[in-house]
Amino acid sequence: MSNTKTILFTLLLLLCKAAAWAQWDVSLAQHWSIEGYYNPSVAGATEGIRISGAYQHRWSGIKGSPKTAIVTADTPFRFISKRHGMGMVVGTEIMGPKNNSLLAAQYAYRQKVGSGYLSAGIQAGIYQLAFDAGNLTLANDSVANNTVMIRTNFTDRSVFDFNAGLSWKGRHFFAGISVMHLTSPWFYAQSDSTPVAVASPDSIRRHIPRSYNFMASYNISLFYPLDIQPMIWVQGTNATTQIRATMRAIFRQKYSGGASWVKNDGYVFFAGALIRGVEIGYAYSLHTQGIGKQGNGSHEIYIGYRIPIDAFDKKSTPGKSIRLL
């Protein structure tokens, strides 16, 4: 167990070496609720079927700003007396009239290590690219009264995408590392003025950059019915990094709320509730730096539902005995 922790925290230090933020993948404000999008090793980590969905509108007030919708589902299963997990991810990101979409499947293997479970997972899927999400620029729309808008380079291609992750989860502590876009797929990007039919000499050969994620959290039971969860998330590429520190409070295992600090970006405020088995949440991001400062903040909603595995077990009905008199 000590070796596992050493590896995890070594990776954290390596991720912290960079300073700026320029990345392909969306950073969800309520990342703990849909962490399977970032790390496939958490597939099947609960004792039931888990379905989660999130919708984020970044930088509202800026024309053409990104809108992202992600749905994940996973379930545990046993095979040859071993614990496994499988899941799927469906996602789409819309920016103006263009959008990127993802469809992927996940598999995870779980092994008892110490007081918790060590999980290793992989994800394979197809990205349908329609714009270069790593190349965002601000511009003024002179036709629309100098409205601030976002411009991107255009592309149209399907590429294979592969992720891998490792995580350990105990009663109170969780830590996970993952690599997204392990194959770093290439594509050609063009400006809006370039004909789409053929890749012209003006086309730019780009690739989806590999990104690395480190997530860790600890559940502190101060006194019933209040729990505190400090969390850290480091998300970066080979040259850039974003750091997010979160403090979340949970009351009676039904209501939650808290705030996050995001390096070189701003702050996030969120709240959630568990209502009749359905978990819902809302987050507002206040951007004090970067592109988001030009807008009216970012909004995000989350919804999740868990189905216990035993809900599918056939319940035995008491038999009726017929007594002949």
- Interval 229-256: pLDDT, tens: 999 999 998 878 999 999 999 999 999 9
How many Å apart are CA 16 and CA 28, to the nearest integer?
Answer: 19
Pair of tokens at residue 184 = 């770093």
pLDDT of residue 130: 81
Mean per-residue pLDDT for 137-143? 56
Spell out the residues 6+ positions from residue 182 whose beta carbon is closer than 8 angstroms to its own.
162, 163, 164, 210
pLDDT of residue 67: 93
13-22, 50-59, 163-172, 189-198 — which is least confidently predicted? 13-22
pLDDT of residue 285: 97
DSSP 151-215: E--EEEEEEEEEEEEEEEE-SSEEEEEEEESTT--EEEEB-TTS-SSS--TT-EEEEPPPEEEEE
- The DSSP letter of residue 9 is H
DSSP 217-269: EE-EEEETTEEEEEEEEEEE-SS-EEEEEEEEEEETTTEEEEEEEETTTEEEE
- Which is more confident, 301 or 79? 301
On average, the pLDDT of the chain sits at 83
pLDDT band at 148 (very low <50, low <70, confident <90, very high): low
- Report whether 239 contacts 245 (CB < 8 A): no
Architecture of the structural domain at 2-311: Beta Barrel (2.40)
Q: Where are the domains of the chain?
A: 2-311
CA angle 41, 261, 90 (to 5 degrees): 35
Using a cut of 0.75, tell me whether the model's pTM lies above it: yes
pLDDT band at 291 (very low <50, low <70, confident <90, very high): confident
- Report whether 78 contacts 110 (CB < 8 A): no
How many Å apart are CA 28 and CA 54, to the nearest integer?
Answer: 8
Give yes or no for residue 223 having a pLDDT over 90. no
Of residues 164, 54, 48, 51, the one with CA closest to residue 106: 164
- Report whether 297 contacts 283 (CB < 8 A): no
pLDDT band at 20 (very low <50, low <70, confident <90, very high): very low
Pair of tokens at residue 64 = 């053409």
